[in-house]
Amino acid sequence: MDKETLLDWYHQMVLIRRFEERSDELYQLEGKIKGFLHLYIGQEAVAVGTIAARKKGDHIITAYRDHGHALAVGIPASQVMAELMGKATGAVGGRGGSMHLASKERTFWGGYGIVGAHISLGTGMALAEKYKGTDNVCLCYFGDGATNIGYFHESLNMAAVWDLPIVFICENNKYGMGTSIEKASAAHKMIDKAKAYKIPGKQVDGMDIFAVYEATEKAIDACRKGKGPQFLEMMTYRYEGHSIGDRTRYRPEGELDKWRDEKDPIATLQNHLLQEHKVKEADLVAIDKKVIKEVDEAVEFSDDSPLPALDTLFDHIYPSNAEAN
């Protein structure tokens, strides 16, 4: 991996982290963000490392913890922030909010709030590509908790029966809200569930962006070659609560510190850059500063943006039939 790419990854990961920290403040201190807010801090390597492995035309679909994916596919931070603030300039015009970011031109289909439902949508996107005979694949993300819902099982089975080009990416952060995997799932390894459907699975260190990238590249490649669905279990950790207002009382003492101090994905990449690529500390600091500016500008842009006009309330209930024949 060349240095430029790694610096770009570093930039993206730091951007996600600062963006999330600032969102948290905007919610808790300034009251500018309402509703649900699920932060991605700790899991940055997964979105950045997997999306780096996709090519144009590949589909991305994920759950409500979607800010990281939205930024990694390249939606400008200003549009993501404006969406969180419910502004007209937001990624989806203030209609979706934090959980429903999307960008058609980037084949990023969203952000979905019903646990597991979008796994079936992703399966359908892979079906559409297979139907059309392209070599596009779908990267479909979900949490460990989502592996307990029917949608997950029906979709994996369907994808396997039809050999669909989909990479199921389980972001295993050990908990679904406050319930640990041990309490909620009979199988403690998510890849064992994939195995039941004869889908090749791999556990990956989700805090190590190199491991994430490499595993994703292989999985995508297998999909493109017609080998059917693939399953990646990214072992990761969310540092913040499930969403705002979660005091994370369900975590054993010291668990967070251990992940953050020993495995932080940004620190890991930082060390790699400093040691293997002889990047100067000042260069990284420059990126950090650039990111702070980017996030500040995103907030400023959002502050200055108008609210959606009330006369747009009923727009888009149905898709336009203008181009239908």
Partner 1 sequence: MARLTLREAITEALREEMRRDENVFIMGEEVGAWGGTYAVTKGFLEEFGENRVRDTPISEMAIAGAATGAAMAGTRPIAEFMTINFAFVAFDAIVNHAAKVSYMFNGQFDCPIVFRAPGGGGKQLGATHSHTPDVIFAHFPGLKVVCPATPYDAKGLLKSAIRDNGPVLFIEPVALYTSPKVRDEVPEEEFTVPLGVSDVKREGSDVTIITYGEGLHVSLDAAKALAKEGIEAEIIDLRSLQPLDMGPVIESFKKTFKAVVVEFGHQTYGIGAEIAARLQDEAFDYIDAPIKRVAQYDVPAPYSGELERAALPNADRVIAAVKEIL
Ligand X SMILES: Cc1ncc(C[n+]2csc(CCOP(=O)(O)OP(=O)(O)O)c2C)c(N)n1
> In this structure, what token pair is assigned to residue 212?
């994430």
Q: Summarize as ranges the residues that interact with partner 1 (CB under 8 A).
A: 59, 61, 92-93, 95-96, 100, 102-104, 109-110, 112, 114, 117-129, 131-132, 150-151, 154-155, 157-158, 161-162, 315-321, 323-325
Give Cα separations from 35 to 25, 46, 74, 85, 86 (angstroms): 14, 25, 24, 10, 10
Which of the residues 133 through 172 are near Mg ion (CB under 5 A)? 143-145
Question: How many angstroms separate the CA atoms of 148 and 119, rounded?
Answer: 12
User: Which of 65, 67, 130, 193 forms a contact with ligand X (CB under 6 A)?
Assistant: 65
Question: How many angstroms separate the CA atoms of 101 and 94, rounded?
Answer: 10
User: Which of 114, 161, 196, 267 forms a contact with ligand X (CB under 6 A)?
Assistant: 114
Q: Is 110 in the site for ligand X (CB under 6 A)?
A: no
Q: Is 302 in the site for ligand X (CB under 6 A)?
A: no
Applying CB under 6 A, the site for ligand X has a residue count of 15
Q: Report which residue's Cβ sits closest to Mg ion.
A: 143
Q: Which of Mg ion, ligand X, partner 1, none is residue 154 near (CB under 5 to 8 Å by kind)?
A: partner 1
Helix (H, G, I), strand (E, B) or coil at 198: coil
Question: How many angstroms separate the CA atoms of 317 and 315, rounded?
Answer: 6
Asked whether 115 and 63 are in contact (CB, 8 A), the reply is: yes
Of the candidates 198, 205, 202, which has an alpha carbon nearest to the alpha carbon of residue 189?
202
Q: Which of ligand X, partner 1, Mg ion, none is residue 177 near (CB under 5 to 8 Å by kind)?
A: ligand X
75 vs 146, beta carbon nearer ligand X? 146
94 vs 145, beta carbon nearer Mg ion? 145
User: Which of 111, 122, 176, 241 forms a contact with ligand X (CB under 6 A)?
Assistant: 176
Q: Report which residue's Cβ sits closest to ligand X.
A: 143
Please name the residues in contact with 304: beta carbons below 8 A apart, sequence gap of 6 or more: none
* Least distance (Å) between residue 171 CB and ligand X: 6
Asked whether 41 and 320 are in contact (CB, 8 A), the reply is: no
40 vs 108, beta carbon nearer Mg ion? 40
Question: How many angstroms separate the CA atoms of 9 and 153, rounded?
Answer: 33
22 vs 193, beta carbon nearer partner 1? 193
Of the candidates 137, 136, 69, which has an alpha carbon nearest to the alpha carbon of residue 98?
69
138 vs 234, beta carbon nearer partner 1? 138
Tell me the window of 24-32, 67-75, 77-85, 170-178 that interacts with ligand X (CB under 6 A).
Answer: 170-178
Question: How many angstroms separate the CA atoms of 202 and 206, rounded?
Answer: 11
Question: How many angstroms separate the CA atoms of 83 and 77, rounded?
Answer: 10
Instruction: Please give the single-letter amino acid code of residue 87.
Output: K
* Least distance (Å) between residue 235 CB and ligand X: 13
Instruction: Give the residue carrying structure tokens 């996600």.
Output: 16
Question: How many angstroms separate the CA atoms of 170 and 143, rounded?
Answer: 5
Question: How many angstroms separate the CA atoms of 265 and 269, rounded?
Answer: 6
User: Which of 107, 173, 216, 236 forms a contact with Mg ion (CB under 5 A)?
Assistant: 173
94 vs 145, beta carbon nearer ligand X? 145
Q: Is 175 in the site for ligand X (CB under 6 A)?
A: yes
33 vs 215, beta carbon nearer partner 1? 33
- Binding interface with ligand X (CB under 6 A): 65, 113-115, 142-146, 171, 173, 175-177, 242
- Binding interface with Mg ion (CB under 5 A): 143-145, 173, 176
